């Protein structure tokens, strides 16, 4: 199957770190992406990681990849109320289509 799995919901307080998890399916996936979707908006690319990397850091965002377990995580440091949104992980291998997870709704409370 093509099920990319994510937990449905995460709630944190402003200033805390958020960790959003994803389990993907295709061990040959070349790229793994994180997209953010705010209400009524399209998908905004946050970051991506090559499959030959274990970690990528971009300002407040840290992506960790465990290829053995096909597990991807997104850590948001110092989470702000503006980070409240739905976060999608997605996998892609070469010319194959981009396959999205079900999305994790992040709620940041003041």
Partner 1 sequence: EAGVAQSPRYKIIEKRQSVAFWCNPISGHATLYWYQQILGQGPKLLIQFQNNGVVDDSQLPKDRFSAERLKGVDSTLKIQPAKLEDSAVYLCASSLGQTDTQYFGPGTRLTVL
User: Where along the sequence are the contacts to partner 1 (CB under 8 A)?
Assistant: 4, 30-31, 33, 35, 40-45, 48, 88, 90, 92, 94-95, 97-98, 100-103
Least separation in angstroms between residue 78's CB and partner 1 is 26
Distances in Å between the alpha carbon of 45 and those of 1, 65, 69, 97?
25, 18, 24, 16
Least separation in angstroms between residue 39's CB and partner 1 is 11
Of 17 and 96, the one with the shorter C-beta distance to partner 1 is: 96
Least separation in angstroms between residue 77's CB and partner 1 is 23
Task: With beta carbons less than 8 A apart as the criterion, state whether 43 and 34 touch.
Answer: no
């Amino acid at each position: 199957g093509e099920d990319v799995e994510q937990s449905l919901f995460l709630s944190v307080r402003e200033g805390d770190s958020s960790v959003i998890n994803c389990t993907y399916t295709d061990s040959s996936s070349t790229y793994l992406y994180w997209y953010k979707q705010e209400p009524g908006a399209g998908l905004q690319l946050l970051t991506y990681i090559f499959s030959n990397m274990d970690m990528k850091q971009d300002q407040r965002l840290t992506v960790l990849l465990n290829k053995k377990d096909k597990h991807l995580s997104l850590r948001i440091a110092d989470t702000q109320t503006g980070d409240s949104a739905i976060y999608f992980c997605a996998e892609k291998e070469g010319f194959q289509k981009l396959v999205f997870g079900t999305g994790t709704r992040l709620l940041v409370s003041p």
